[in-house]
Amino acid sequence: MKRSLCVLAVLLVLVCGTSSAVISTAEAARRPGPAGLEKLGKVFDNLANKIFASPGMRRLLMLVDRIASAVRGGAVGGGGRFDRVLTEVVRHIEEFERLLDGARDEASMRRALPKVKALATKMKGLKERFERLGRPPKDQMLQLQRKYEPKFRRLTPKIRDHKNRLRRSNSQAAKDLVKELRRADL
């Protein structure tokens, strides 16, 4: 384990050009159990976000991601990232559905609007994060599709029904809610 952490530290210095990532890796190595691995995972996620913008570094990023996945005990290839993003998307869509279900009159629509705006902003961030991850490999794509398609099939008609109900309403709060749903790509 210590040997692999040393290799990771060298890779981090090469990629980042700083030693701050090495210090974070060393801190994670000193922490026993899941807390240390969680810290190490966060270090690699931050590293990936910095590097991913540079197209010339994608190969190195893939190597670092494979190593990080192996150290965290996940499947090599970073499949957990897609899974985490999609889990958050489903959770946010369920929250949209819950908020819209309670927004039946003008007052409740106004109460729901700030929460819907916040969720729309989070959904935009998740969409950007998912796009930065790129396209998953075909086998992983099928696995994600099997896992999440039933959830999306269950939630999509509910959100569509709420949008149609809000569109029929003449209130300004309903129009604002529909605008926020559009901003969240729902």
Contact 98, 108 (CB under 8 A): no
Q: Give which of 5, 147, 158, 16 is closest to 95, Cα–Cα.
A: 158
Q: What does the pLDDT read at residue 28?
A: 55
The pLDDT-based confidence of 77 (bands split at 50, 70, 90) is very low
Strand extents, DSSP E, 3-105: none
Q: What does the pLDDT read at residue 186?
A: 84
Which residue, of 57, 72, 87, is where some domain finishes? 72
What is the residue whose two structure tokens read 């994600």? 144
Cβ neighbors of 141 (< 8 A, separation 6 or more) are 135
Cβ neighbors of 167 (< 8 A, separation 6 or more) are 174, 178
Q: Would the pLDDT of 128 be above 80?
A: yes
Same domain, 41 and 61: yes
Q: CA-to-CA distance for 103 and 82, rounded, in angstroms?
A: 31
Q: What does the pLDDT read at residue 66?
A: 54
Number of domains, the chain: 2
Same domain, 60 and 138: no
Cβ neighbors of 155 (< 8 A, separation 6 or more) are 90, 93, 94, 97
Same domain, 161 and 119: yes
Q: What does the pLDDT read at residue 117?
A: 96
Q: CA-to-CA distance for 77 and 63, rounded, in angstroms?
A: 9
In the chain, what percentage of residues exceed pLDDT 70? Answer: 58
Q: What does the pLDDT read at residue 81?
A: 87
Q: Give which of 126, 74, 62, 118 is closest to 95, Cα–Cα.
A: 118
Residue ranges making up the domain that contains 162: 79-183
pLDDT tens, position by position, 87-98: 999 999 999 999
Residue predicted with more confidence, 38 or 154: 154
Q: CA-to-CA distance for 177 and 63, rounded, in angstroms?
A: 43
**Which of 37-46, 55-64, 75-84, 130-139 has the weakest average pLDDT?**
55-64
Same domain, 119 and 61: no
